[in-house]
Structure 1
Amino acid sequence: MICREQDGTLVMTKQHEHGLLAGEFAKWFKEEHTPAEGRRAEVLWAVSNHDRGWIDLDETPFWNDAEGLPYSFLDFPVVPKLTFYRRGIDEVEAETPYGALLCSSHFERLIEVSGEECPELTQYLEDEADRRARIHRALEQSKPLEEGELYYDARLLQFCDDLSLFLALSRPGSAESEKHPWFADGFSGSEEFSFTSGRAIEAEWQDSATLTLTPFPFTQEVEVSFKQRRVSRKDIQAKGIALAYREAPEEECRIRVISGPEEDSRVKSGAGQRTKG
């Protein structure tokens, strides 16, 4: 579960809902020559479904007494989390082995960032390394990877995942000072895309329904929607998290993503110079 607090309520977004949103962003990503043409459908499916292991877990939120919040993907107990990570990647592999390779690498990065350690985690990492080696061997026999293909697709998944997470963790229209610390310096890794010229993509709210991105990563303005629930702390205290969440109505959040004003001015300036030439 992804959760933020606002005015005495917990705004909660399911992990798979966030994953589907990431898939929407991937569809409109700017660099048309990548993902490799022959695997584009597989990559888009994997981005949309990378968090499908959380589907059953998020039907009933689990309460973290120590934090006074529902457990998130960061602090969820390690052993069950790994079980559902593995299950999700198994389901992706049944649809697309390359997608499983991509998702397995993605979760390995998340685990490394978390700094968690336990025997079960060591075993999980060994098992996933074996899975990736097996998929690599099979792909070499049938459809070898192009140079840099997996690295690029991993950056694509990371960016779309982060942008989707930004929306789930942000109050639409919030000020720069309220930005989640994960995104204070832009989206990590996005500076590696060729069109950014080494600059991390940054997000800023224009209003409560419009988000600007600079440099702009999509082929056009993108309008997305995702579902959330607002669960009051009073209801949680009175009914418990499971019932309070179940009774909270689902609401749709619609956001338009456009290019930032700085980028618009650069484009206009460039267009003017070309006309004079």
Structure 2
Amino acid sequence: MICREQDGAIVMVKQHDHGKLAGELAIGFKEQHVPTEGRREEVLWAVAQHDRGWIDLDETPFWNDAEQAPYTFIDFPVVPKLTFYKRGLDEIEEHTPYGALLCSLHFERLIKIAGLDYPELTLYQEHEEERRARIHRELEASKPIGEDELYYDARLLEFCDDLSLYLALNEPGCPKSEEHPWWREGFSGTEDFSFTSGRVITAEWQDKSTLMLEPFPFEKTLEVAFMLRRVQKSEIAKKGIARAYSETPEEECRIVLTARNNI
């Protein structure tokens, strides 16, 4: 679950909904900078499905007693999180081995950034190294990975994941000083895209429904939407997180992504 606090409520977004939003962003990405041959449909599907391991976990949120808040994708207990990561990757591999390779590398990067150190994590990483090596061997025999193909696709997944998280973790229209700290200086890795000329893509809210990006990474102005729930803390205190969440109606958040020079 992706969570942020706002005016006596906890705004909650399901991980898989965030993943599907990332997939929409990948579809709208500048086509001249997306590989035209090979595995485009597989990549787009994998970007949209990369967090499918969270589908069952997010049906009923769990309460973190130590933090007096719902568990999120950041602090969810490691052992069950890794179990569902693996389950999601297994399901992705059934559909596209290349997509599983891409998503496995993505999770490996996130684990290294988090700096976690658990015995179970070592076992998970060893299993995923074996998965990636096997997929590499299978693809080499059937459809070899092109030069720089995997590197580019990994950057695409990283950026779409980051921008989707940005939209879920920030209150639309908030000033830069109140943004989530992960992206105040821009989206790391985006300087590798050729259209950025070595610059990092940055974001700034124009208002509560419009986000400006520079350099602009999409073919055209893009409107996206995702579902969220604003669960009142008072309802959590009375009913518990599971019931309060289930009784809170979903609402749609719509955001227009535009280039800064379009304003």
TM-score (norm 2): 0.98
2:197 paired residue number: 197
1:122 paired residue number: 122
Once the two structures are superposed, the pairs formed by residues 38-187 of structure 1 within 5 Å of their partners are 38-187=38-187
Q: What displacement does 1:175 show?
A: 1.0
Q: Aligned equivalents of 2:41 and 2:31: distance in 1?
A: 15
SS of alignment partner, residue 136 of structure 2: helix
* Contact kept in structure 2, 1:35 and 1:43, CA below 8 Å: no
Q: What displacement does 1:174 show?
A: 1.0
1:270 paired residue number: none
1:275 paired residue number: none
SS of alignment partner, residue 79 of structure 2: helix
RMSD of equivalent CA atoms: 1.0
Q: What displacement does 1:30 show?
A: 1.1
Q: What displacement does 1:35 show?
A: 3.2
What stretches of structure 1 move > 6 A for 4+ residues in a row?
none
The one-letter code of the counterpart of 1:54 is: W
The one-letter code of the counterpart of 2:46 is: A
Residues 69-123 of structure 1 show CA distances to partners (whole Å, capped at 9, x for unaligned) of 1111111101000000000000000000000000000000111111111111000
1:274 paired residue number: none
* Segment drifting more, 66-75 vs 40-49: 66-75
1:6 paired residue number: 6
2:223 paired residue number: 223
**Percent identity between the aligned chains?**
68
Q: What displacement does 1:11 show?
A: 0.4
* Contact kept in structure 1, 2:33 and 2:194, CA below 8 Å: no
Specify the structure having the higher radius of gyration (Cα).
Answer: 1
Q: Aligned equivalents of 1:117 and 1:36: distance in 2?
A: 39
SS of alignment partner, residue 5 of structure 1: strand
Q: How many residues align?
A: 263
1:233 paired residue number: 233
2:206 paired residue number: 206
* Contact kept in structure 2, 1:231 and 1:245, CA below 8 Å: yes
Q: What displacement does 1:33 show?
A: 4.7
SS of alignment partner, residue 199 of structure 2: coil
SS of alignment partner, residue 146 of structure 2: coil
Residues 242-270 of structure 1 show CA distances to partners (whole Å, capped at 9, x for unaligned) of 00000000000011100013xx59xxxxx
Residues 157-183 of structure 1 show CA distances to partners (whole Å, capped at 9, x for unaligned) of 000000000000011111111111000
SS of alignment partner, residue 75 of structure 2: coil
Q: Aligned equivalents of 1:125 and 1:252: distance in 2?
A: 37
The one-letter code of the counterpart of 1:199 is: R
SS of alignment partner, residue 38 of structure 2: helix
Q: Aligned equivalents of 2:35 and 2:167: distance in 1?
A: 24
Q: Aligned equivalents of 1:246 and 1:37: distance in 2?
A: 44
Residues 110-137 of structure 1 show CA distances to partners (whole Å, capped at 9, x for unaligned) of 1111111111100000000000000000
Q: Aligned equivalents of 2:10 and 2:73: distance in 1?
A: 16
Q: Aligned equivalents of 2:32 and 2:131: distance in 1?
A: 29
The one-letter code of the counterpart of 2:111 is: I
Unaligned runs of 5+ in 1: 266-277
* Contact kept in structure 2, 1:36 and 1:149, CA below 8 Å: no
Residues 174-195 of structure 1 show CA distances to partners (whole Å, capped at 9, x for unaligned) of 1111111000110011111111
Q: What displacement does 1:37 show?
A: 2.0
The one-letter code of the counterpart of 2:91 is: E
Unaligned runs of 5+ in 2: none
The one-letter code of the counterpart of 1:188 is: S
1:260 paired residue number: 260
